[in-house]
Amino acid sequence: MKQHQRTPLSLCIAAGLVALAAPAGSWAQSSTPVAPPVETLETVVVTAQKRPQKLQEIPVAVSVVTAQDIENRGISGFAELLGLIPNTTIDQNTSAQPTITIRGITSSTNNIGMESGVGVVIDDVFLGRPSAFSTQLIDIERVEVLRGSQGTLFGKNTTGGLINIVTSKPSRQFAAAADLTGGSYGLRQARAYVTGGVGDEMAAKLSFTSKRRDGWVENRNPAGPDLMSEDFDGVRGQLQGKAAGLSWLLSADHGRDRAVDNYYDVREGGLSAFDANGNDRSIATNGGDQFGRTIKGASLKLETQSQGINWVSITAQRGVDWYGRNDQDYTDQAILVLSRKEKQSQFSQELRASGQSGRLNWLAGLYYFRQKQDGVDRMVLDELTPVLFGLPYMPGFQEAADTIVHLDTRSSAAFGSGSYALSETVELNTGLRYTSERKRMNYRQELQQQVGLIGALAAEVAPFDGARKDAQWSGDIGLAFKHGKQLNSYLKMTRGFKAGGFDTTQATSADPGDLSFDPETVQATELGFKSILAGGRLRLNGAAFHMDYKNKQEQFFNGVSQRVSNAARARISGAELDLTARPDAALQVGLSLGYQDATYKDYLANAGKRLVDSSRLTASLSGQYEHSVGGGWGWMIRGDIQYRSKSYQQPDNDERYTQPGHSLVNLSTGLRSDDGRYALLLWAKNLGNKTYRTSTYSVDAFQTMYQAVNAPRMVGLELRVSL
Instruction: Please state the φ and ψ torsions of residue 95, each to the nearest 5 degrees.
Output: -60, -30
Please tell me which residue, 506 or 351, carries the higher pLDDT value.
351
User: Is the pLDDT confidence value at 140 over 80?
Assistant: yes
pLDDT band at 578 (very low <50, low <70, confident <90, very high): very high
Sign of the C-alpha dihedral computed for residues 7, 8, 14 and 20 taken in this order: positive
pLDDT band at 160 (very low <50, low <70, confident <90, very high): confident
Q: Which amino acid is at 717?
A: L
Rounded to a whole number, what is the largest CA-CA distance in the chain? 83
* Percent helix, strand and coil across the chain, each to the nearest 5: 5, 60, 35
Average pLDDT value for residue range 426-454: 94
Q: What is the spatial distance between Cα 353 and Cα 50, in angstroms, rounded to a whole number?
A: 11
Q: Is-contact 176 192, C-beta < 8 A? A: yes
Element housing 9 (H / E): helix 9-20
pLDDT band at 616 (very low <50, low <70, confident <90, very high): very high
Q: Which of 139-143, 298-302, 340-344 has the lowest mean pLDDT?
A: 139-143
For 182-201, write each residue's pLDDT tens digit: 999 999 999 999 999 998 88
Q: What is the spatial distance between Cα 114 and Cα 275, in angstroms, rounded to a whole number?
A: 34
Sign of the C-alpha dihedral computed for residues 117, 122, 126 and 132 taken in this order: negative
Q: Supply the pTM of this predicted model.
A: 0.89
How many Cα atoms are found within 13 Å in the side-chain-facing hemisphere of 682? 18
User: Is the pLDDT confidence value at 557 over 80?
Assistant: no
pLDDT band at 14 (very low <50, low <70, confident <90, very high): very low
User: Is the pLDDT confidence value at 667 over 80?
Assistant: yes
Q: What is the spatial distance between Cα 284 and Cα 222, in angstroms, rounded to a whole number?
A: 9
User: Is the pLDDT confidence value at 516 over 80?
Assistant: yes
For 312-324, write each residue's pLDDT tens digit: 999 999 999 999 8
CA 173 to chain centre: 33
- Say how many C-beta atoms besides its own lie within 10 A of residue 308's C-beta: 8
Closest CA to 699 of 489, 559, 557: 559
Distances, alpha carbon 596 to alpha carbons 88, 154, 571, 616, 654, in Å = 11, 24, 10, 5, 20
Collapsed DSSP state (helix, strand, coil) of residue 702: helix
Q: Which of 272-286, 666-680, 684-698 has the lowest mean pLDDT?
A: 272-286
Percent pLDDT > 70 in the chain is 92
DSSP string, 526-550: EEEEEEEEGGGTEEEEEEEEEEEEE
User: Is the pLDDT confidence value at 10 over 70?
Assistant: no
Average pLDDT value for residue range 268-289: 81
Q: Is-contact 651 676, C-beta < 8 A? A: no
For 392-436, write each residue's pLDDT tens digit: 988 889 999 999 999 999 999 999 999 999 999 999 999 999 999
For 453-471, write each residue's pLDDT tens digit: 898 889 999 999 999 999 9
Collapsed DSSP state (helix, strand, coil) of residue 132: helix
Q: Which of 153-157, 165-169, 570-574, 662-666 has the lowest mean pLDDT?
A: 153-157
User: Is the pLDDT confidence value at 644 over 80?
Assistant: yes
Average pLDDT, the chain: 87
Please tell me which residue, 651 or 557, carries the higher pLDDT value.
651
Q: What is the spatial distance between Cα 188 and Cα 11, in angstroms, rounded to a whole number?
A: 14
What is the model's pLDDT at position 514?
81
User: Is the pLDDT confidence value at 370 over 90?
Assistant: yes
Domains annotated for the chain, with CATH where assigned, are: 41-168+283-290+322-666+688-716 (2.40.170.20)
What is the model's pLDDT at position 234?
94
Q: What is the spatial distance between Cα 280 and Cα 532, in angstroms, rounded to a whole number?
A: 46
For 713-722, write each residue's pLDDT tens digit: 999 999 999 9
What is the model's pLDDT at position 565?
77
What is the model's pLDDT at position 651?
87
Percent pLDDT > 90 in the chain is 55
Q: Is-contact 404 376, C-beta < 8 A? A: yes
Q: Is-contact 370 344, C-beta < 8 A? A: no
What is the model's pLDDT at position 285?
87
